[in-house]
């Protein structure tokens, strides 16, 4: 009966990735937690994956708050170059 809850490490990492994006089913989460009981490497992979996601999301939020614009003098110089271009 419990054989259907036993998964290998490849399946565990796939479920871990799905779980990170909220796509893992309840049964898959149970299988993953059972796998963690006997596999510390996959548990560590999951923790590292969560940490990397948090770091990335924090960095992405910071990037969105920074306005990336060309300085006004550079815009004017570019306009002059385009106006002088004879194609």
Q: Tell me the per-residue pLDDT of 28-58, one tens digit each, with 9 for 90 and over.
A: 999 999 999 999 999 999 999 889 888 888 7
Round to whole Å and give the CA distance between 60 and 72: 26
Q: How many residues does the chain have?
A: 87
CB atoms within 10 A of CB 22: 6
The yes-or-no verdict on residue 64 having pLDDT over 70 is no
Which range (3-12, 35-44, 47-56, 63-72) has the least confidence?
A: 63-72
Pick the closest to residue 10 from 34, 27, 35 (CA basis): 35
Round to whole Å and give the CA distance between 63 and 84: 35
């Amino acid at each position: 009966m419990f054989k259907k809850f036993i998964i290998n490490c490849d399946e565990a990492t796939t479920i871990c990735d799905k779980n990170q994006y909220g796509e893992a089913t309840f049964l898959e989460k149970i299988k993953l937690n059972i796998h963690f009981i006997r596999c510390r490497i996959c548990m560590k992979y999951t923790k590292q994956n969560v940490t990397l996601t948090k770091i990335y999301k924090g960095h992405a939020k910071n990037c969105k708050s920074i306005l990336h614009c060309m300085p006004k003098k550079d815009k004017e110089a570019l306009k002059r170059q385009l106006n002088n271009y004879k194609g």
